[in-house]
Amino acid sequence: MEDILASIKRVIAEEKEIRTSAAAVPAAEQQVPVEEDVLELDDMVAEVEEPVVDLGPPLMEEEVADTSRHALEQLASVAATAPPQPQANPLEEMLRDMLRPVLKEWLDQNLPRIVDEHVKREIHRITGRPV
């Protein structure tokens, strides 16, 4: 859950950063202080211009994004303070381990028939023809 929230926040922040950097001065035009141990090249290197990406209008208004971001931050803070999930009950774990082979056997025997019946019934419902 926290990973999903972090991912959503990161995407919103990246879009905002792209939009603000597009309006900012390109990095090539900014003055960089020269330090003593900088290697200077004798030959001029042709500068490669980065293509300008037109993102079009924003997908949502800034206030809507801020409202959503605030709600997600609130959810993240509640999720961060939530108590950890309780450890599994040893009895439940033992029962799961015992039932798993029985359930697998039952599914292997019955699931294909059940799926086939439901598919035929749905095809009949959609097409009106018996299968």
A 10 A CB-CB count for 23 gives: 6
Q: What is the pTM of this model?
A: 0.32
List alpha helices for the chain, DSSP H. 2-23, 62-81, 90-127
Q: How confident is the model at residue 19 (pLDDT cuts 50, 70, 90)?
A: confident
Q: How confident is the model at residue 110 (pLDDT cuts 50, 70, 90)?
A: very high
* Rounded Cα gap, residues 23 and 18, in angstroms: 9
Average pLDDT on 87-94 reads 86
* Rounded Cα gap, residues 76 and 82, in angstroms: 10
Q: What is the pLDDT of residue 48?
A: 57
